[in-house]
Amino acid sequence: MGKVAIIGVGQSAFVRSYPGSIRELVFEGFKEAMEDAKISTKDIDASVICSAPEYDKQRSPAGVFAEYLGINPQPTLYVETLCSSGSTGLRVAYSLIESGLHDVVAVIGFQKMSEISSAESQERMGRGADIQWESPFGTMMPAYYAMYARAHMETYGTTLDDLALIRVKAATYGQINEKAVYRKPVRLEMFSDPENRLSGTVASPVRVGDCCANADGSSCVIVAGEEKAKAVSQKPIWILGIGAASESVNLAGRNLFTGFTAARAAAREAYSMAGIGPKQIDVAEVHDCFTIAELMAYEDLGFAEPGEGRYLIQSKQTYREGTIPVNLDGGLLSKGHPIGATGGSQIRTIVLQLRGEAGSAQVDDPEIGLVHNIGGVGLYGNVTILGR
């Protein structure tokens, strides 16, 4: 197989309420990525737009963005796999380049969630489940993940403090990420203080502090074939492995509630393609929409055995100085989760780490990084392995 590389990455600041239009929001991530790649719009052969629909009124946003960004008449596609849309977009771009159809593809993710209320947003997220058999009964993301948290606790003895420690880590790095929406410190004792809003129950055992925040934001990843990448980039980051899988949308069709089978399958595929195992990963970004999601990711990715992910966070092995640093940009918990932009933002973080450009969050000389991006409640699993 030929090589495919990432030659440019960009991201807007993630904010609670972006004042401009969705096309202006997308431009911010695109502009940064293009400047990073040092190419012009004439070099873009195709674009892949990634988001979850129904948060804004624009149908078929791909055409709107292609015009606004000046990349017509090149083809543009629109892809959606809920929260993992950005990683799915990268998979599509990789395929377009590997097939020989295109040489340079821009993967653009966005979401402007502030255009609807929090209640409406929760209802949209709930419709990511089966609208015939589940979502009409009021199931929403916190409740779904609360079931997984409860199962993990009952099976392995995981505690509320274990989950809170993940949020403490997220805040540690969110404070130093200028693009994060939540940049306040979080201490473990806040979760036991009834006067602190982080301790409030959302869906037992999930508390406010266990949940990520909605946000507006955009991201962009510029992907190129080997020849082009070597010609234009001094630090191309190569896609070594790219795995994806899906799971039953209805929880009644599942037999595992302490992890995500789609994530495990995607990880196996990515590791196999890259020819490595979990111990070769130097730095990772995982989908921490809830604290339990990060804990399960440790185990689904093979960083820890099932039930032993809590020991990684207890001993700070997932901090920058640890054996497997995870979410050193604050993760979704601190950075925010503008659904379609999340995957591209995760990829950007790992690219900067592998280039040695992550500032005060930089890991010591990483060679291989991993991105784990989940859509829905484990419905879609995406794992991407990158190397310098």
- Percent of the residues in the chain that have a pLDDT greater than 90, as a whole number: 90
**How many residues are listed for the chain in this entry?**
388
Query: In this predicted model, which residue has the larger pLDDT, 133 or 316?
Result: 316
Q: How confident is the model at residue 24 (pLDDT cuts 50, 70, 90)?
A: very high
Check whether 266 has a pLDDT greater than 80: yes
H-helix or E-strand containing 173?
helix 160-174
Residue 136 in any domain: the answer is: no
Residue 26 in any domain: the answer is: yes
What's the domain count of the chain? 1
Check whether 153 has a pLDDT greater than 70: yes
Q: Which of 102, 287, 337, 372 is catalytic?
A: 337
Residue 91 in any domain: the answer is: yes
Check whether 1 has a pLDDT greater than 80: no
H-helix or E-strand containing 171?
helix 160-174
Q: Which of 83, 211, 212, 289 is catalytic?
A: 83
Query: In this predicted model, which residue has the larger pLDDT, 102 or 130?
Result: 102
Active-site annotation holds for 337: yes
Residue 35 in any domain: the answer is: yes
Domain that holds residue 58: 4-117+214-232
Which DSSP letter does residue 257 get? S
CA–CA separation, 257 and 247 (whole Å): 12
Residue 92 in any domain: the answer is: yes
Check whether 106 has a pLDDT greater than 80: yes
Residue 277 in any domain: the answer is: no
| Cα 276–chain centre separation | 22
Query: At 99, which CATH number?
Result: 3.40.47.10
The residues pairing with 206 across neighbouring beta strands, listed in sequence order, are 203
Average pLDDT of span 230-255: 96
pLDDT at residue 2 in the model: 59
Residue 182 in any domain: the answer is: no
Check whether 18 has a pLDDT greater than 70: yes
Model-wide pTM > 0.95? yes
Residue 373 in any domain: the answer is: no
Q: What's the pLDDT tens digit per position in 288-315?
A: 999 999 999 999 999 999 999 999 999 9
